[in-house]
């Protein structure tokens, strides 16, 4: 990772979502003011950006744009699910590009950020120079079922029991829907308890070796509420896409010419490697030299694991060096 840096510009993108509802999105720019533009798309949805996210990019060569998506991080209203869909976020990325006067940029996204990167690139392919993706997630029902219903639970039974605890036994056949009710309860205590349990499940399963720092973050009220409520809102609505849409041949045809590097943890249980492989398979079903998949043999889901960090930095260096 590159050394820590501070932004040289911070601002807000005001989005008039309705006549009476405004999302105010926090964004920041760091690195080289005249550098190659790169935009970082954070995970979740609802995760927000972190100062360390700037360190994936060479600050001497890159103009690094980070922003908090609707309801996440420093964007307000916090934890809002109103006017908050995949396609709203795609439109926000394009609004931010236009606001900053950027013609084309490199797009970096991991986990949910990879979903959003694919959706954005498929909508605005002429604005994307390259894609660097991690932990591929495409919102298919099978992916959501594996993590939230029956799959990862076989590997983390003690954490699964914690995740089950807030939900009545009669409703555990559909955990995403059951949590939706809890996270939207009129009782603050119920909402917060559910938010922390939902967030802990992902934090506890994201690394090959469980991170105490990530578990502590799941206990932070503001983070847990935004992360859990927004994430659950997306998943109970199946991501606002048809099942498999981002992997359809006609969708990949729109971006097949874009240089793309994927970094995937072999033991990622949040976004298992099968989805990265599915992306590679459909991408390479037609002649293409633009796609590269790097499997990290000793990593889980998090971008904060040594092998994953190393390959992500190398990927950003590689794509930026061409411009």
Domain borders along the chain are: 9-140+241-320, 142-239
How far apart are alpha carbons 168 and 130 in whole angstroms? 46
Candidate from 89-93, 210-214, 262-266 with smallest mean pLDDT: 210-214
Active-site residue, selected from the candidate residues 23, 42, 106, 301: 301
**DSSP state letter for 69:** P
User: Tokens 């931010």 identify what position?
Assistant: 96
Active-site residue, selected from the candidate residues 53, 68, 92, 268: 268
111 annotated active-site? yes
pTM as predicted: 0.97
Per-residue pLDDT band at 323 (split at 50, 70, 90): confident
Per-residue pLDDT band at 288 (split at 50, 70, 90): confident
pLDDT mean across residues, the chain: 97
301 annotated active-site? yes
- pLDDT, tens only, 30-73: 999 999 999 999 999 999 999 999 999 999 999 999 999 999 99
Active-site residue, selected from the candidate residues 111, 114, 206, 251: 111
* H-type alpha helices, 151-187: 157-164, 175-183
Superfamily of domain 9-140+241-320: Alpha/Beta hydrolase fold, catalytic domain (3.40.50.1820)
Per-residue pLDDT band at 322 (split at 50, 70, 90): confident
What φ, ψ does residue 36 adopt, rounded to 5°? Answer: -70, 125
Per-residue pLDDT band at 194 (split at 50, 70, 90): very high
- pLDDT, tens only, 100-130: 999 999 999 999 999 999 999 999 999 999 9
């Amino acid at each position: 990772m590159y050394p820590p840096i501070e932004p040289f510009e911070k601002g807000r993108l005001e989005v008039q979502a309705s006549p009476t509802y405004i999302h105010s999105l926090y964004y920041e720019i760091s690195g080289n003011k005249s550098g190659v533009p790169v935009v970082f798309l954070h995970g979740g949805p609802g995760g927000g950006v972190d100062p360390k996210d700037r360190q994936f990019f060479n600050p001497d060569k890159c103009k690094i744009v980070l922003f908090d998506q609707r309801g996440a991080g420093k964007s307000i209203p916090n934890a809002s699910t109103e006017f908050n869909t995949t396609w709203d976020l795609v439109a926000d990325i394009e609004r931010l590009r236009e606001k900053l006067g950027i013609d084309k940029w490199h797009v970096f996204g991991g986990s949910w950020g990879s979903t959003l990167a694919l959706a954005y690139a498929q909508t605005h392919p002429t604005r994307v120079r390259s894609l660097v993706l991690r932990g591929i997630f495409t919102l298919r029902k099978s992916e959501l079922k594996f993590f939230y219903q029956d799959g990862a639970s076989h590997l983390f039974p003690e954490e699964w029991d914690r995740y089950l605890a807030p939900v009545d036994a009669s409703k555990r056949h559909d955990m995403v829907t059951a949590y939706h009710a809890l996270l939207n309860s009129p009782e603050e205590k119920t909402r917060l308890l559910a938010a922390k349990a939902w967030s802990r499940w992902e934090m506890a399963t994201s690394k090959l070796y469980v991170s105490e720092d990530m578990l502590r973050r799941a206990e932070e009220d503001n983070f847990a509420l935004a992360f859990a409520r927004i994430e659950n809102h997306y998943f109970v609505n199946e991501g606002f896409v048809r099942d498999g849409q981002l992997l359809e041949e006609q969708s990949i045809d729109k971006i097949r010419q874009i240089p793309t590097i994927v970094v995937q943890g072999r033991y990622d249980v949040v976004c298992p490697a099968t989805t990265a492989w599915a992306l590679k398979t459909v991408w390479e079903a037609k002649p293409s030299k633009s796609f590269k998949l790097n499997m990290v043999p000793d990593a889980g889901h998090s971008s904060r694991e040594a092998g994953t960090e190393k390959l992500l930095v190398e990927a950003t260096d590689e794509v930026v060096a061409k411009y």
